[in-house]
Structure formats: structure tokens, C-alpha cells
A and B are shown apart, each in its own frame.
Chain A
Amino acid sequence: MNEVTILKLGSNIIVPIQVELHDRAAIKLQEDILARIEETGANGLIIDVSAVTIVDSFLGRLLGETARMAGLMGTKTVLVGMKKEVVMTLIQLGMTIANLNTALNLEDGLGILERLKTKNNQAAGEGART
């Protein structure tokens, strides 16, 4: 079975999805990612979907949920490298992007993640919630 690699880089977790995910594999991936966050205490998560050509409503919702779940664990998530075709399908399916950070590529994604973390730290330092 094709396992999705989950990489740890500094305090971030990077998940480059290189295979087409079926429903069961996607649920397994969600569990694996969350377990890895718990294990490593990472505070940043990047899901790279640049190699994924088909995202159905299930996978779209699952990715959004994973981001929210990670958020509950105090981890910021950025979804990077979504393909044009994938975006158009998601828009047609009526997927919204509320509270989901996206970036063009991995590099930009890391930049956004660092910014989000600093903002969070500042907010925590000032004792205010964002």
C-alpha cells in the first residue's frame, strides 16, 4: 500500500502527497498527521498537494478538517501548491476556504507559516486573542 511520507523539518511537519488518495487512505493520512503532531509537538503543518490532480468533495472536506483539527492542537496549517484543475473542481463543488491558509508553493508556504507563528506569539505576548 502507498504510504504518504510525513517529514519533520525543525518545528514544522511537511506532508507531500504524491499519490492519488482514496477515501480510506485519506482518513489514514489524517490520523497519521495528527499522531505525528502529538508525538513531535510541531507547531506548523504544510500539506503539499502539488502532485494531486483529483480532489473530490470528501478529500477537500477532509483536508479542511485536518487543518482545523491541527489548529485545535495549536498547530498552524498551510495548504500549498493546489493545481488549477483541483481549484476549479472545488469551486464548482462550493467548497469555501474559511480559515484555511493557502500558498502557491512550498517556499511561500513556509514563509506564511513563519509569519503566522510570529503573529501568534506576539498576540500571546500581548495577552490578546486573534
Chain B
Amino acid sequence: MTKKNLFHELADLFRDYRNEIAELWQRQLIAAAGNVITTIGEENIRKRSEELLGRLIKSMPAGDDVKAQAYDPVRKYIQSLSVDLTAANCTPGEVATYIFSLKDALLSTSQGKFPQKGRLNEAVTLVNKLIDKLGLISIETYLETKEKLIREQQLSLIETSAPVVKVWDRILLVPLIGIIDSERTQVVMNNVLSGIEETQSKVVILDITGIPAVDTLVARHLIATASAVQLMGAHCVITGISARIAQTVIQMGIDLAGVNTKATMADGLREALDLLGQKIVKHSIKGDLNE
């Protein structure tokens, strides 16, 4: 008798004792996965368990390759279940426990009812392996969901972290914060150049006060942005060069000579106004703010 036939037999057996297995599983769940039940409700979980069991029995004759097409309905169901449960604050471990507790129900049924006593061991191993694989699907789904979330957050971080502010007539300010990588440089450059096109600004102040460390890579990105600004026909002033950044830049032998740099943003604004032939002057004191 081939292995495949054993799957057929097991599927038939489970179909016959379907209600019994569901009942056993539910009892197992109450004992082992209390949190899952309290989160989504006893009736709800019973309905889902029965659905999953039904799909599993239908797919089982195809063997134990859970990646095969025959297992599509089972896989999809576990995936949606995993997403729902984790969204309802269940840990991935609890979701896996939920799947694994089906094993006990299936095994105790097999042990009592399996017709060929001689092949019982083989059957038990098969069921074990199958349910383990299903449990892994739930964990993989969890990881995929999390990774997708991380990717989305990264994207939104990139989008929000490069604002271009018009601080004065024909002067733009770009405060850079956090880690600068090539992807972000592209976004910053894109935003800055669009800003120049829209406002026809003549000076762009790149403020790097919020960048923790400048290495050769960051410096190269800054120089690229500065040259792009200059190609557009505007001036670029890089501000927020702290003592430590100045030290590292020189020690690493980075050439920032072609770029206009200033220590603070205030200096940069003054420089920008100077480039436009404007200046801020004091006038007679009106309020008591200057006292």
C-alpha cells in the first residue's frame, strides 16, 4: 500500500468522525489556548475550526505537500485566520498553538479508530508532520504581515521626513533629520528640485543639524544634492555643521570645498539674504520684548 493511500484512508476516517474531532479540538483549545477563545469568542472559534477541518479533510488526499495547489483553500484559510487573530492582539505563538492543538484531536481519534493497527505508527507520524507544516504557515503569515507593515512605515517615513519649507521670498529651507541613505537622498533631491521649480527660489538651505553623523556616503549625497541645486541655477548653503561634524569631515578627508557651509541655520539664513542682496536691520524698539 502506498503512502498516498494512507492519506486517503486518514481523510476518510477524519471525515467520518468529523464532529467528534471538532468537539475534541474545541476542548483542547479551552484548555491550551484560553486567550484565543476569550479574544474572538467560543462560538466564533468553533465555526472557524469546523471550516478549517472541513477544508483540511478535502485537501488531505493530495498528500502532505502543503505548498501544493490542492492545499490552497487550507493555506488561504490559515493565513486569513492568522491575520485576524493577530489583529485582535493574539501572539503568533497563540495562533500556532491553536493550529497545533488540532494535532491532539486528530491523533486521539486515529488511535482509537484507525482500522489497520499495524500501520498506526506511520499514520501518526504523517498527521504530526502535516499539522506541524500548517502551524508553520501561521507563523510565516505573521512574519509576512509584520514585514509588510515595516516596509509601509519605512515608505511613509521617507515621504514625511523631507519637508521643503519656504522661509523667505525665494529662499527654501530643507531640515534633514535622521539617517541619510541613497533612497532618501533621491526623495530629498526630488522634493528640493520641485520646490525650486515651483517657487523659483534662488537659495536653498540644507540644514543637517538633525543628522547624527556624517560619513563619506552622507557627504557624497550632500554634495550631489548641492550640485543638483546649482545645476538648476540656485545657490545651496549647507548649515548645521557642528564642531564634531567638522572634525570628522576633515579627518576623513572629505572635500566639501565646493560647497557653501555654515555652522548654524541662522548664519545660513543671513548668507542666503546676503546672496539675494537683502539684509535684516534693527529698528527703534516698539514693544518691551527687547528689554
Q: Which residues of A pack against B, CB within 8 Å?
A: 79-84, 87-88, 90-91, 95-97, 102-105, 108-109
Contacts and interface: CB of A to CB of B under 8 A. Distances in A.
Interface string B180-216: 0000001001100110110011100000000000000
Contacts of B230: 97, 102
B234 interface: yes
Interface in B223-238: 224, 227-228, 230-234
Contacts of A90: 228, 231
Given A82-B233, A102-B231, A108-B233, A91 B189 contact: yes
Interface of B: 186, 189-190, 193-194, 196-197, 200-202, 224, 227-228, 230-234
29 contacts: A79-B233, A80-B233, A82-B232, A82-B233, A83-B197, A84-B190, A84-B193, A84-B194, A84-B196, A87-B193, A87-B232, A88-B186, A88-B190, A91-B189, A91-B231, A97-B231, A102-B231, A102-B233, A103-B233, A104-B196, A104-B200, A104-B201, A104-B202, A104-B233, A104-B234, A105-B200, A105-B233, A108-B202, A109-B233
A83 B232 CA distance: 7
A19 B262 CA distance: 41
Contacts of B196: 84, 104
A91 B227 contact: yes
A81 B194 CA distance: 13
A15 to B, nearest CB: 16
Contacts of A79: 233
A97 B224 CA distance: 11
Please list the 4 inter-chain residue pairs (A to B) with the smallest Cβ-Cβ separation, ordered nearest first. A84-B193, A103-B233, A102-B233, A104-B233
A84 B197 contact: yes
A44 to B, nearest CB: 16
A121 B134 CA distance: 83
A82 B231 CA distance: 7
Contacts of A109: 233
A39 to B, nearest CB: 28
B232 A104 contact: yes
B226 to A, nearest CB: 10
A63 B202 CA distance: 22
B228 A88 contact: yes
A97 B202 contact: no
A88 B194 CA distance: 11
Given A82-B233, A103-B233, A104-B233, A87 B228 contact: yes
Contacts of B231: 82, 87, 90-91, 95, 97, 102
Contacts of B197: 83-84
Contacts of A104: 196, 200-202, 232-234
B184 to A, nearest CB: 14
A82 B193 CA distance: 10
A83 B198 CA distance: 11
A98 B197 CA distance: 22
A113 to B, nearest CB: 12
Given A97-B227, A105-B200, 4 more contacts: A82-B233, A87-B231, A88-B190, A104-B233
